[in-house]
Amino acid sequence: MKKLIIPDRLKIGDTVATVSLSWGGAGDEKLLYRYKTGKKRLEEMGLNVVEMDSTLKGSEYVYNHPEKRAKDLMNAFKDPEIKAIISCIGGDDSIRLLPYIDYEVIRNNPKIFIGYSDTTITHLIMYKAGVRSYYGPSILGEFGENIEIFPYTLEYISQIFFEGDSLGFIKPAEFWSGERIEWLYENRNFTKLMQKNTGYEVLQGEGIVEGHLLGGCVDVLEMAKGTEIWPDINEFDGAILFLETSEETMSPDNLLYSLRNYGAQKILQRLNGILFGKPYQNKYYEEYKDVIRKVLKEYKLETLPVMYNLSFGHNQPMHIIPYGAVARLDLNNKRFSIY
C-alpha cells in the first residue's frame, strides 16, 4: 500500500481555486451562470473562491492549450494562499496535460483536490506524486446544481473540506436521479425527478474485507493504462478497486474488454475487492452485473468480493472517495465504510 500525504483541512475564510483541466465550458457564455452558482455556493460555505488564468477562457481556448491548463494546476499548487483546488467539470482530454506536469510541485505543496469523471487523470497524477486526492463533485455538475446542492452530497463535501477523511459508514443515497435537464439559464429552477434507490448489492463474496481505495471512471482509466501515471502493479496489492462509468454509458461489451485487461495485467488477482458505482441513468444495470461476474469467473475469482450500485461518480447525489484511504466492505450486511 502506497503511503500518501494527506492534505490539511480547510478553515472558514480559506481560499480555494477553480480549474478547467479538460472541457472549458465553465467559461462559455451560456454556462457562466452555472459556474457563478457553484462559486456562490462555495462562498456561502465561508470560502474565498478564485479562478486560475484559463478557468473561464472558454471551451475553444481551453481545448487548444493543454499547457495552459497544466500551468493553472501547477500554479494553484504553488500558491500558498490557495488551500484547495476544485475541478470545474470533466471532459475527455485531461490526458494531454501529462507532458507539462511537475510531480514535485504537487508533492511539496499538498492540498485538497476534488473532481470526477475525466478528472480521474488528475487523481492519478496526484497518486503518482504521493498526495491523496478526492473523487467527488465538480463546480458545474454538483456545486452548480439547480436549486441547491443535494444534501447527501453536501454532507460529504463538508466533512472532507472541514473535518477529515475518516468518513465511517457510507450510507447509500436514499433517492437518486438520472434525469438530464439541459444546462440553460431558463432551466435553472427546474428540479430533477428523484427515484427510490435500491441500496447496495453484493454480487459475490462474503464476510469482511479491507483495502486501500484506488480507481476512477472506467472510460478514463482506459486512456491512462500504460502511461507514466498508471499505478505500479504492486500498488494494487490488497486494494479495493472502485469503478464507475460515465454519461457515455459504455456498452457491456466495452466494459467486458476493459475488465479483461485488468485480468490480463493480473490486477484483478491482487485485489481485496471491487466497488462499482450505479450506472448512469441505470442503463445496463443488469448487463454490467453479468459482465463483472463473467470476467471474474474467467479468471477464477468467483469469491472476490464485489459490491454494486454505489453512490459515487456519475450519480446524483454522490459521496466522495479519498484515494488511498482504507475501505471496509461488510458483505454479509451490505455495508461500506471508509477510515
Beta-strand ranges (E) seen in 172-319 are 175-176, 195-196, 201-204, 208-217, 240-244, 273-277, 306-310
Query: CA 172 to CA 334: how far, in whole Å?
Result: 10
DSSP letter assigned to residue 29: G
What is the structure's pLDDT at 16? 99
Burial (CB count <10 Å: 0-12, 13-18, 19+), residue 253: exposed
pTM of the model: 0.98
pLDDT in tens, the chain (339 residues): 889 999 999 999 999 999 999 999 999 999 999 999 999 999 999 999 999 999 999 999 999 999 999 999 999 999 999 999 999 999 999 999 999 999 999 999 999 999 999 999 999 999 999 999 999 999 999 999 999 999 999 999 999 999 999 999 999 999 999 999 999 999 999 999 999 999 999 999 999 999 999 999 999 999 999 999 999 999 999 999 999 999 999 999 999 999 999 999 999 999 999 999 999 999 999 999 999 999 999 999 999 999 999 999 999 999 999 999 999 999 999 999 999
Query: CA 284 to CA 281: how far, in whole Å?
Result: 9
Query: CA 145 to CA 150: how far, in whole Å?
Result: 8
What is the structure's pLDDT at 31? 98
What is the structure's pLDDT at 24? 98
Q: Are 157 and 16 in contact (CB under 8 A)?
A: no
What is the structure's pLDDT at 25? 98
- Supply 196's cell numbers: 427510490
What is the structure's pLDDT at 291? 98
Query: Residue 205's CB: how many other CB atoms inside 10 A?
Result: 20
Burial (CB count <10 Å: 0-12, 13-18, 19+), residue 287: middle
Query: CA 330 to CA 205: how far, in whole Å?
Result: 10
Query: Residue 28's CB: how many other CB atoms inside 10 A?
Result: 18
Which domains, ranges and CATH numbers included, belong to the chain? 15-165 (3.40.50.10740), 175-338 (3.50.30.60)
Q: Are 24 and 63 in contact (CB under 8 A)?
A: yes
What is the structure's pLDDT at 332? 98
- Supply 261's cell numbers: 485487461
What is the structure's pLDDT at 1? 82
